[in-house]
Amino acid sequence: MALLEINGLKAYYGQTQALYGLDFRLEEGSITTILGANGAGKTTTLRSICRMIHTEGDIRFLDEDLTSLSTEKVVRRGIAHVPEGRGTFVRQSVEDNLQLGAYTRTNKKDIADDIERVYSYFPRLRERYKQQAGTLSGGEQQMLAIGRALMLRPRLMLLDEPSFGLGPLVVQEIYGIMQQIREKEGTSMLLVEQNANIALDLADHAYLLETGEVVMSGESQVIRDDENVRKSYLGY
């Protein structure tokens, strides 16, 4: 059984259709990436899973239909969303942001243990635990956004452009930590990226979107080897 299975997904912003019948699946413990240019429908796909926009079609998580659920109930099922732009609470401290990430939970000892676990992945956050999130660097804010999502103890993380606006060394560091999280926690990830090179390095499986439709899918290495993908998305 797939962790996440989507069939015939259509999505709309008002009267404007943005997705045209997407089909894809994500296996437990895997990392899947969705690639495509601006406007291809990548972010819309994540918003659809989180029940943030109007959709038609099937979205099943652990074989449960999500389409009738609110965004909050989707989160409680174990799906954490790391939006583009990071979405941190800029006036709150690093540690307060992590506490807010655990809002669905009540066991204070478990929450404290998980904050320590986040700090073990992101030591820079421990150094800045009292600092306002809005004063962190872009890379540190992205670390905080991922750390806050981990506080939900998610089965699935949805990551929207985690490399956006960051320098190459910071991106490599964050992607290395994401790989550690997958290996140590078994957390599955659905990763939206314009940086196709680094996404294909991390992911097991890839889907290529163009104007709201899947035009190619397969194992990441197979996608990387495709001549059209290399020319259009990888730059060689």
pLDDT, tens digit, for every residue of 161-219? 999 999 999 999 999 999 999 999 999 999 999 889 999 999 999 999 999 999 999 99
Please state, in angstroms and rounded to a whole number, the distance separating the CA atoms of residues 17 and 32.
24
Mean pLDDT of 120-136: 96
CATH number listed for the domain at residues 4-234? 3.40.50.300
User: Is the pLDDT reported for residue 128 higher than 80?
Assistant: yes
Query: Minimal CA–CA distance to 184: which of 121, 126, 125?
Result: 121
pLDDT, tens digit, for every residue of 177-188? 999 999 999 999
Where are the chain's structural domains? 4-234
Q: What is the pLDDT of residue 236?
A: 63
Mean pLDDT of 130-141: 95
**Residue 20, phi then psi, degrees to nearest 5:** -125, 65
Q: Is 87 left (phi over 0), alpha (psi -120 to 50) or beta?
A: left
Higher pLDDT, 104 or 64: 64
The mean-pLDDT minimum among 28-32, 36-40, 111-115, 118-122 falls in 36-40
Q: Are 196 and 208 in contact (CB under 8 A)?
A: no
Higher pLDDT, 83 or 232: 83
Query: Minimal CA–CA distance to 88: which of 164, 145, 159?
Result: 145
Q: What is the pTM of this model?
A: 0.94
